C-alpha cells in the first residue's frame, strides 16, 4: 500500500545567506506531513557549510536521506533533484507541484528567474511555476538592494510571484535566532496555506 502524504511542495535553497530558513522550512513541511521536493544549488551547499552544522551530501539520493533523517521524515517524503536533472517532474508543467518556494533566494537566482534563464533545474522549475501560473514564493536576502534587484523583484511580483524578503520582525520579542528563523518560516507557511504553530498570528 502506498504512503499518502499531503500535496508536494518544491523547496529550493540557493546561495544567499540564511540557509537556516530553508532547512527549517523543510522540517516544518515534513512535520505538516507534506511531501517535500528539494533542490540545493552548489553555492547553497557552501552557505550551509558556512552557516550551519548540517552535513549535507551533494548527490541527490544521499541528500534526500540526510534531509529525511534530520527532519524525521517518513520513507519517500523527501525527494531531491540534481542541478541538471531535466527529467525530474519539477521541470515540466505536467509534473510540477502547485507551489514552489526559493528560500533563501540569491540575487543571482532572482535575476535568472526574472529573465527566464532556466540554466539549471531550480531556475527551470521556477520558470515552469510562472508559465503555469502556479504559486511561486521567493525569499531574497541581500542588503542594500540595487535597482537591478528591485526591478527583478517588481517584474516577478507583477507576474504573480510572492516576494517575501528574509526580514524578520521583532514585535514578538524574539529570544533566539530560532525565533527569528521561525518568524520567516511561519510567513511562508501562511502563504502556502499550511497550518502551523511556529508563532501566533497577529491578534491571537
Ligand X SMILES: Cc1cc2nc3c(=O)[nH]c(=O)nc-3n(C[C@H](O)[C@H](O)[C@H](O)COP(=O)(O)O)c2cc1C
Per DSSP, the three-state class of 13 is strand
Query: Which cell goes with 86?
Result: 531535466
Q: Which is nearer to ligand X, 109 or 135 (CB)?
A: 109
12 annotated ligand binder: no
If binding is defined by CB under 6 A, does position 130 make contact with ligand X? no
Which helix (H) or strand (E) is 42 found in, with range? helix 42-51
Residue 179 Cα to chain centre, angstroms: 18
Segment contacting ligand X by CB under 6 A, of 11-19, 62-70, 92-100, 124-132: 11-19
The alpha-helical segments, DSSP class H, found in 85-162 are: 107-114, 121-131, 147-158
Q: Where do we find the cell 535553497?
A: 13
What is the H or E stretch that residue 79 is in?
A: strand 78-80
* Residue 20 in contact with ligand X, rule: CB under 6 A: no
Check residue 190 for interaction with ligand X (CB under 6 A): no
When asked if residue 57 is in the footprint of ligand X (CB under 6 A), the reply is no
Q: Is 108 within any annotated ligand binding site?
A: yes
- Residue 70 is assigned to a ligand binding site: no
60 contacts ligand X (rule: CB under 6 A): no
Question: Which residues are documented as binding site for dimethylallyl phosphate?
Answer: 171, 187
List contacts with ligand X (CB under 6 A).
14-17, 41, 43-44, 46-47, 50, 106-109, 141-142
Amino acid at each position: 500500500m502506498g504512503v499518502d502524504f499531503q500535496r508536494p511542495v518544491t523547496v529550493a535553497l540557493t546561495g544567499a545567506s540564511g540557509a537556516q530558513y530553508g532547512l527549517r522550512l523543510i522540517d516544518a513541511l515534513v512535520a505538516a506531513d507534506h511531501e517535500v521536493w528539494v533542490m540545493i544549488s552548489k553555492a547553497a551547499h557552501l552557505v550551509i557549510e558556512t552557516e550551519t552544522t548540517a552535513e549535507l551530501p551533494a548527490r541527490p539520493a544521499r541528500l534526500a536521506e540526510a534531509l529525511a533523517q534530520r527532519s524525521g521524515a517518513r520513507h519517500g517524503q523527501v525527494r531531491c533533484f540534481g542541478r541538471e536533472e531535466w527529467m525530474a517532474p519539477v521541470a515540466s508543467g505536467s509534473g510540477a507541484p502547485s507551489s514552489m518556494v526559493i528560500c533563501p533566494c540569491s540575487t543571482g537566482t532572482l535575476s535568472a528567474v526574472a529573465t527566464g534563464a532556466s540554466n539549471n533545474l531550480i531556475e527551470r522549475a521556477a520558470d515552469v511555476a510562472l508559465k503555469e501560473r502556479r504559486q511561486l514564493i521567493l525569499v531574497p536576502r541581500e542588503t542594500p538592494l540595487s535597482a537591478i534587484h528591485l526591478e527583478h523583484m517588481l517584474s516577478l511580483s507583477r507576474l504573480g510571484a510572492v516576494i517575501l524578503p528574509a526580514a524578520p520582525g521583532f514585535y514578538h520579542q524574539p529570544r533566539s535566532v530560532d525565533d527569528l528563523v521561525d518568524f520567516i518560516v511561519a510567513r511562508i507557511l501562511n502563504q502556502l496555506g499550511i497550518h502551523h504553530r511556529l508563532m501566533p498570528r497577529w491578534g491571537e
